[in-house]
Amino acid sequence: MLRASAAAEKAGVPSSSLVCEGFIGQASTTSIGLGLPNLPVALVPGHVGTQSTEELNENVLGVTVDDVVRNLTEAPGEIAMVEDPEPHEVVFSGTIDEINRLFVENEWSDGLPVIPPTAQRVEAFLAFTDRDPDEVLAILLPDSRAATIWSVAVNGVMAGCRPEYMPVLIALIEAMGDPDYGVEHSGNTPGGETLITINGPVASQLRFNDEQGVLRDGFQPNTSVGRFWRLALRNLAGFLLHKNDKCTFGNTWRVVMAENEPVLDEIGWPTTAEDLGILKGKSAVSIARYTGSNLIASATGNTGEKMMPFLADAVLKQNTWQLVFTIGTSPGTLRPLLVLSPILAKTLAKDGWTKGRVKQYLYDYCRLPAWEFERYLGEWTDHPIRDLKDQVNLRRAPSEFAESDDPNRMVPITFRPDDFMVAVSGDPLRTNAITFAHNGILGYSVAREIELPSGWDDKLNMAR
């Protein structure tokens, strides 16, 4: 609504955005990023999802209508904008404790100690790219800030990355700026968090962990690059808690997951990057935002037919309200993720299963009765969709969702088998898997190739 209101105001048309009480702070901060810090908003007290019709009428007539009339008939007051420091400007000199206190006070820090981004440290990062320090990689919402090579290096230093990680960091910000990913949704209330997957030769060259404890902090590349992502969301995109990051609970940033490519090569399965359009053998990062995960322990069996029912059942149970991204908020954008440990993937491959067959099985068996699907959308999650057949007739869903009128017919949770993401990583000899529930269009899966600088091998050897 605020973006529509901003467009109207810039065209000279008065507007008034209706904002629930819990989002007033977010509206104020987002308005600054839209270039209109005084964008008119009308308060809706409380949250409409918990109010009776009578309570909602009382609140709207008693509060909201007056705000709307005032916004449409009176000119908004002027608000002074705070000027940011110049990109290369030295803003402070002091002890490590004083610098960290400054960063916390200015909300440049995630609360953990940061490495001071001195000019010398930043220059060390810039040595690992051939691109101009002032090159703009993306304009990131909600603050509409320019993410530059320089600012990427600054946040990489702060996160505790090593200079040689710089090509990975640049690719991540390019992915963050992809409109398909939708960085502007990073502060939405479900509090989903991005999982970064790295593929290609650079993953082993930089010594990313792809085995036991792959999603645990403790390995510098996986850990610091994961932290970089959250710092970049804060300092480059502008997401701040209690302001425009409105996660209800939230998640801590995730460490980077490297796929076990020797195993993938052995069994002939494509990587996650290949699934997203990157050529085989290229180094790349993939990102997607997930709302939660669930371990699938002890998936025993020596055949796919024995193993896959347990895996599919767990994937299905992890996706509940997220079905609004199958049919509803953004049709066809749900992309659940299943990460198999290497021994599970090798067992499936030995039994003749390709990754495509695994995805087809998930599509065929991750299903629920049509009435239950409609209950999630029309009753439990407050979406105005109560009939899947209507959505098929409106061409907002494939025909598989309306093969009959039987309310007990089983319908899939994605539009296509390829909407399921399957990766291979983790402890090589544990029969476990993990599944992630996807946040749909509010963090869609995208990938970016990692561009290495000239003289990469020599520079990497020197860094070591």
pLDDT of 59 > 80? The answer is: no
pLDDT value of residue 146: 95
pLDDT value of residue 18: 80
Q: How many residues are recorded in the chain?
A: 464
Average pLDDT value for the chain: 91
Most confident stretch, 60-69, 248-257, 421-430: 421-430
State pTM to two decimals.
0.89
Q: Say which amino acid occupies 279.
A: L
pLDDT value of residue 26: 62
Question: If you average pLDDT over residues 331-345, what whole number do you get?
Answer: 98
pLDDT value of residue 458: 96
pLDDT value of residue 32: 63
pLDDT tens string 141-162:
999 999 999 999 999 999 999 9
pLDDT value of residue 387: 93
pLDDT value of residue 23: 66
Residue 24: pLDDT band with limits 50, 70, 90: low
DSSP type of residue 241: B
Residue 25: pLDDT band with limits 50, 70, 90: low
pLDDT value of residue 42: 78
Residue 81: pLDDT band with limits 50, 70, 90: low
pLDDT value of residue 459: 96
- Percentage of the chain with pLDDT > 70? 93
Residue 350 has a CB neighbour count (10 Å cut-off) of 12
pLDDT value of residue 31: 67
pLDDT of 38 > 90? The answer is: no
Question: Domain map of the chain by residue range?
Answer: 2-73, 96-171, 181-449
pLDDT value of residue 85: 76
Question: If you average pLDDT over residues 40-66, what whole number do you get?
Answer: 76
pLDDT tens string 186-211:
999 889 999 999 999 999 999 999 99
CA atoms of 18 and 47, how far apart (whole Å): 12
pLDDT of 323 > 90? The answer is: yes
Question: If you average pLDDT over residues 93-116, what whole number do you get?
Answer: 95
- Percentage of the chain with pLDDT > 90? 75
pLDDT of 415 > 80? The answer is: yes
CA atoms of 377 and 21, how far apart (whole Å): 24
pLDDT of 72 > 90? The answer is: no
DSSP bridge pairs for 136: 148
The bridge status of strand 284-296 relative to strand 193-199 is antiparallel
Most confident stretch, 89-93, 123-127, 143-147: 123-127
pLDDT tens string 359-410:
999 999 999 999 999 999 988 987 788 899 999 999 999 999 999 999 999 9
Strands (DSSP E) along 155-266, which ranges?
Answer: 193-199, 257-258
Indicate the Cα dihedral angle 288, 293, 297, 299, nearest 10°: -50
pLDDT value of residue 29: 61
Q: Which helix (H) or strand (E) holds 147?
A: strand 145-148
Q: Is 449 helix (H, G, I), strand (E, B) or coil?
A: strand
CA atoms of 153 and 148, how far apart (whole Å): 9
pLDDT value of residue 12: 74
* Cα atoms in the 13 Å half-sphere on the side-chain side of 391: 27
pLDDT tens string 7-21:
777 777 787 778 776
pLDDT of 5 > 80? The answer is: no
pLDDT value of residue 36: 66
